[in-house]
Amino acid sequence: MLNIVLFGPPGAGKGTQSERLIARYNLVHLSTGDIFRANIKGETELGLLAKSYMDQGNLVPDEVTINMLKSEVLKQENAKGFIFDGFPRTNAQAQALDTFLASINTEITRMIGLEVAENELRERLKKRAEVSGRPDDANPDVIQNRINVYKNETAPVKDYYQKQEKYIAVDGIGSIDDISDRLFAAIDHI
């Protein structure tokens, strides 16, 4: 299996690039943010819980997120591999993912980090707010909190995979096509 964690701060382009990667490598895309948003739309219990955290730009608690992720993976019996987008976002999630994947006889192949400077992220999120309809894109304080949460809680996950010699950095600045080409080159060289 090819299991890629697509990593990076909010606004790095993970969602856009995930679409390109699943098409080229025939993988299943699992975006925890998208799954939470679908649950909010469907007014499920999980959605209601997640919304209270997401609207503030805080992380949904690990246990809830990990259990949801596991059940989504298990639904995909014939998957050739996964693009994990927006997960893991804490070291506890990364550890739980390793343990879970080992239990189904697979593992993370690589984490690929889209590296984008903070001022560029802010500009991109401001633009995205005009079209995304996401409440967490609309408020500058919430955007700042998401960037802070990324720095404090999520950035250490890079070290977690670096220690396993699985981290690859990709420059996330440029045209969407150029960045896709960099990602394809990185994956084709694994």
Active site positions, annotated: 14, 89, 128, 134, 146
Angle at 60 between CA 142 and CA 87, to 5 degrees: 95
* Contact string 45-84 vs ligand AMP (x = CB under 6 A): --------xx--xxxx----x-------------------
End-to-end CA distance of the chain: 13
Span 13-42, contacts to ligand AMP by CB under 6 A: 32-33, 36
Q: Which of 30, 31, 83, 89 is nearest to 57 (CA)?
A: 89
Is position 183 an interface residue for ligand AMP (rule: CB under 6 A)? Answer: no
* Contact string 108-147 vs ligand AMP (x = CB under 6 A): ----------------------------x---------x-
Rounded to the nearest whole angstrom, what is the least distance from the CB of residue 26 to ligand AMP in the complex? 23
Cis peptide before 140 (omega within 30 of 0): no
Say how many residues touch ligand AMP, by CB under 6 A. 17
Q: SS3 letters for 132-189?
A: HCCHHHHCHHHHHHHHHHHHHHHCHHHHHHHHCCCEEEEECCCCHHHHHHHHHHHHHC
Contact criterion met (CB below 8 Å) for 148 and 90: no
In the complex, which residues of this chain contact ligand AMP (CB under 6 A)? 10, 32-33, 36, 53-54, 57-60, 65, 86-87, 89, 93, 136, 146
